[in-house]
Chain A
Amino acid sequence: MTMNAWDYVFLGRDYIEAECPGVTEKQLQAMRHEFEYWYPMDLRVSGKDLIRNHLTMSLYNHASIWHENQEQRMTRSYFCNGYLMLNNQKMSKSTGNFMSLQQCLKQFGVDASRVTMADAGDLLDDANFDIKVANASILKLFILEEWIQKHCPKSFDWNAVADSKNSEDKFGWDRIIDSEIDRIVKIVTESYAGMKFKNVVKHGFSELKDLKEAYLIAMQG
């Protein structure tokens, strides 16, 4: 790849055969197509310690290389996070307070690991992965799964329930639940868009789960 070849891919310059030995215009066209499909970058996630050097320099160098076309090429968003703590202490190999992603998945499973990490804390503060939360998450997910399998098997006829709902909803509980779900969906959608995953767990998991319990108690009369 020569300078001219890169200019063709990244800057949309013309193909000059003599300056691109060993590479055809068709090959470069395919690369340009990929680049123009993916750029500009929508999101870059990185540590807060890189704001003052790497991330800012990346903006500078994008602005310089794509000077003529900044509007279409500049990175659209940066999300910066703090460091990850383990059980309220700094992760450090020398003290043994350390866990790799693989160890984590093996110990707690994918779902509980996800919930615990989402709940560990957002934004610039250091996030804390708490083993107690991870263990509790396994339990909560297990109980919920059990309940779903028992009461909503795969063969469950959701349409029939939807049709009969209004006639049976004597005390308006179904309507309350519907409205609550709508409210929570809105909060969760906004939280996801704003990268506030702790909020997602709080409303999309815990609050919905509590809502389900409240509903079941109400229906028992």
Chain B
Amino acid sequence: MIENKMAIVYHEPEGEVVSRSGDDCIVALKFQWMLSYGEENWKNDVKNHVESDKFKTYNPKTQEEFVKILDWLREWGCSRTAGLGTKLPWDDTFVVESLSDSTIYMAYYTVAHLLQGGSLNGENPG
């Protein structure tokens, strides 16, 4: 039907979207950068680790959940134009979206004390 131009592809959000401040939102489909979490090699690296004896979840249900998600996860938007964030290195009209931005902060935490010069509010550079 689409080929014969008798129908068009139509998407709409699953439910109403309301912002934290309580306003109704309008959802728009706009250009943005995606990470392809479904890519086979990348996925298999993670999958091998999750299923190895070097990774523990303390609970078979949690383990099951991780394995399931690995097969479900595909492209994921990793950029946005509003709010605070780190600029995308290859496109500075975008900043890194917060979920993606927070995935390796534990590595940063190991050195943060050296960069913050002993103060938490940024009064001294490290």
A residues adjacent to B (C-beta < 8 A): 1, 9-10, 27, 30-31, 34-35, 37-39, 41, 44, 48, 51-65, 67, 70-71, 74-80, 123-124, 194-195
What are 20 A-B contacts defined by CB distance under 8 Å?
A34-B111, A34-B114, A48-B62, A52-B69, A53-B99, A54-B99, A57-B37, A61-B104, A63-B46, A63-B49, A67-B45, A70-B45, A70-B49, A71-B54, A74-B55, A77-B56, A77-B57, A78-B56, A79-B62, A123-B61
With A60-B46, A123-B59 already in contact, the answer to whether A74 and B66 are too (CB < 8 A) is no
Secondary structure type dominating chain A contacts: helix
Q: Which B residues lie within 8 Å of A123 (CB)?
A: 58-59, 61-62
- From residue 13 to 68 of chain B, which have CB atoms closer than 8 A to chain A? 35, 37, 42, 45-46, 49-50, 54-59, 61-62, 65-66
Contacts known (A60-B42, A77-B56); A41 close to B106, Cβ less than 8 A: yes
Distance from B36 Cβ to chain A, minimum over Cβ atoms (Å): 10
CB distance from B96 to the nearest CB of A (A): 11
Contact yes or no, A56 B49, CB < 8 A: no
Contact B76–A57 (Cβ < 8 Å): yes
Pairwise interchain contact B59-A59, C-beta atoms closer than 8 A: no
For the complex of A and B, the 5 pairs showing the least CB-CB separation, nearest first, are A77-B56, A58-B103, A61-B103, A31-B111, A38-B110
Residue numbers in B under 8 Å from A76 (CB-CB): 54-56
**Is B45 within 8 A of A78, CB to CB?**
no
> Which chain B residues (51-103) contact chain A, with CB distance < 8 Å?
54-59, 61-62, 65-66, 69-70, 72-73, 76, 99-100, 102-103
| Cα separation A52 to B66 with both chains bound (whole Å) | 7
B57→A10 contact, CB < 8 A: no
By secondary structure, the B interface counts as: helix
Given A35-B111, A58-B103, A63-B49, also A75-B69 (CB < 8 A):
no
Does A77 contact B58, Cβ atoms closer than 8 Å? Answer: yes
Q: Are A56 and B66 in contact (CB under 8 A)?
A: yes
**List of B residues within 8 angstroms of A1 by Cβ:** 115
Q: Return A170 CB to nearest CB of chain B, in Å.
A: 45
Residues B110 and A57 in contact, CB atoms below 8 Å apart: no
Chain A contacts for B59, CB-based, 8 A: 79-80, 123-124
Task: Assess whether A51 is in contact with B65, with CB atoms less than 8 Å apart.
Answer: yes
Question: Are the C-beta atoms of A51 and B107 separated by less than 8 Å?
Answer: no
Report chain A residues within 8 Å CB of B61: 123-124
B62 A63 Cβ-Cβ under 8 A: no
Residue in B55, B58, B106 with the greatest tally of chain A CB atoms within 10 Å: B58
Q: A59 CA to B76 CA in the complex, in Å? A: 14
Set of chain A residues within 8 Å of B106, measured between Cβ atoms:
41, 44, 58
Nearest CB on B from A125, distance (A): 10
- Is the CB–CB distance between B46 and A56 below 8 Å? yes
Contact A57 B100, beta carbon cutoff 8 Å: yes
